[in-house]
Amino acid sequence: MVSAVVSISYSPLNVRNEDRNSWSRSTGCSFLRSFRTFSISSVDDEQARRIRRVACACVAPPQDLTPAKSIGPQRLENLSVKELGDESDVLIECRDVYKSFGEKHILRGVSFKIRHGEAVGIIGPSGTGKSTILKIMAGLLAPDKGEVLIRGRRRHGLISDEEISGLRIGLVFQSAALFDSLTVRENVGFLLYENSTMPEDQIAELVTETLAAVGLKGVEDRLPSELSGGMKKRVALARSIIFDTTKDAIEPEVLLYDEPTAGLDPIASTVVEDLIRSVHMKGEDALGKPGKIASYVVVTHQHSTIRRAVDRLLFLYEGRVVWQGMTHEFSSSTNPIVQQFASGSLDGPIRFELKLFLSVNEVGSAKAYSL
Ligand SMILES: Nc1ncnc2c1ncn2[C@@H]1O[C@H](COP(=O)(O)OP(=O)(O)OP(=O)(O)O)[C@@H](O)[C@H]1O
């Protein structure tokens, strides 16, 4: 059935078209990309639900969950207590995930597990598929092959807002991805204004409290254009951790951060890194309350973020996890790929291409050289 409008149109919040388009561009979100190509009236209910979910700070419950073969009853019987314990605390598992874009084979058999309570970093050279794997974990992109298991249950396809208990997964985009035409209050409360039955004044109160938890006060009525880069990232973080307090059961939440400190100065980076720690269940937010995030994953290039915000690292290279270990093991690793990446050396197994275009005068004809 074709729905006349998506949430954005009947929403109490009035998001401009150009805002939606720039949101889609900055997040690279496939739903929004496909959404751009639809006229509003050609978006069906299912797409409308997905778009609403993605737009709402990308907090998405998993859908279409069926038990994975590997932890079916037969296997459970054969598992030792230790193995069983090992499986039971796994929140997200990527199993042999492949993803290509046209001829570009980006992920070529990525496997890893994210356990309850973990703070994991994903690092690796540019273009190696770090953001892609985050989007696959969040349910915004579907793998071509392989499986994503959420608490041991296989997720089919992409997210929707079907209520299936399990795990809330939030994605904090690198660009902050705020709607420019909405105030900070509307951006942070977007999910609740759109999807909850909470009265507006209660949402406003919760927004203020959540902003305070990320160290922001009195900015509710500002527009994103009136904020610094670091403040925008904090608003995006607030948008990701806010949830409907009227719901009975609050599911644990995993937050996925895509380069949360990119473009920030060292001090602003430290603020964001500490904030990431503070909203984790092992941390304490700016109001002194324990954080609510069960586990998180951070894609980053920043050494400070690796050191300060995560405990365990996955190193992605040429479409696979080539190394994993604790953060303190990173700099002493003997893996040549890790050593080269850690030192920033040009010599080593990591291939890169720097093309120098020399003038016709210098070489007779213009040539590209790979260094
Ligand atoms: N939707 C898409 N369509 C086509 N190509 C894509 C798409 N998304 C990502 N890519 C390509 O896939 C590759 C991996 O992109 P991705 O953003 O996942 O890498 P990354 O490791 O996060 O890079 P960086 O560290 O530079 O941010 C890049 O070559 C990118 O251009």
* Closest ligand 1 atom to Cα of 30: 1
Instruction: State the residue for tokens 């209520």.
Output: 163
CB 224 within 8 A of CB 180: yes
Question: Which residues neighbour 72 within 8 Å (Cβ) at sequence distance 6 or greater?
Answer: none
Q: What is the pLDDT of residue 188?
A: 92
pTM above 0.90, yes or no: no
DSSP β-bridge partners for residue 104: 101
In this prediction, the answer to ipTM > 0.90 reads yes
Please report the pLDDT score of residue 248 as a whole number. 58
Contacts 24+ apart (CB under 8 A), 223-231: 223/180, 223/181, 223/182, 223/183, 223/184, 224/176, 224/178, 224/179, 224/180, 224/182, 224/184, 224/187, 225/180, 227/184, 228/268, 229/176, 229/263, 229/264, 229/268, 230/264, 230/268, 230/271, 230/272
As a whole number of angstroms, the distance between CA 142 and CA 146 comes to 10
Atom of ligand 1 nearest to the CA of 258: 22
Average per-residue pLDDT for the chain: 73
Is residue 131 within 8 Å of 258, Cβ to Cβ? yes
Pairing mode, strands 104-115 and 312-317:
unpaired
> 130, 175, 341, 352: which to mutate for ligand 1, most atoms within 8 A of CB?
130
- From 104, 297, 302, 320, mutation site for ligand 1 pocket: most ligand atoms within 8 A of C-beta: 104
Query: pLDDT at position 138, please?
Result: 86
Q: Which of 243, 278, 242, 245 is nearest to 260 (CA)?
A: 278
Q: Whose CA is nearest to atom 18 of ligand 1?
A: 129
Q: How far is the CA of 53 from the centre of ligand 1 (A)?
A: 22
Q: Up-side HSE of residue 123: CA atoms within 13 Å toward CB?
A: 28
pLDDT value at residue 74: 31
d(CA 184, CA 178): 8
Nearest to 262 by CA among 295, 303, 290, 297: 303
Q: Give me the pLDDT at residue 323, please.
A: 94
Query: Which of ligand 1's atoms lies nearest the C-alpha of 124?
Result: 21
C-alpha of residue 24 to centroid of ligand 1, in Å = 15
Average pLDDT for runs of 10 along the chain of length 371: 28 58 57 29 41 39 35 34 62 95 95 95 92 90 92 74 62 79 90 82 91 88 90 87 70 84 83 86 78 90 89 94 93 89 84 51 35 30
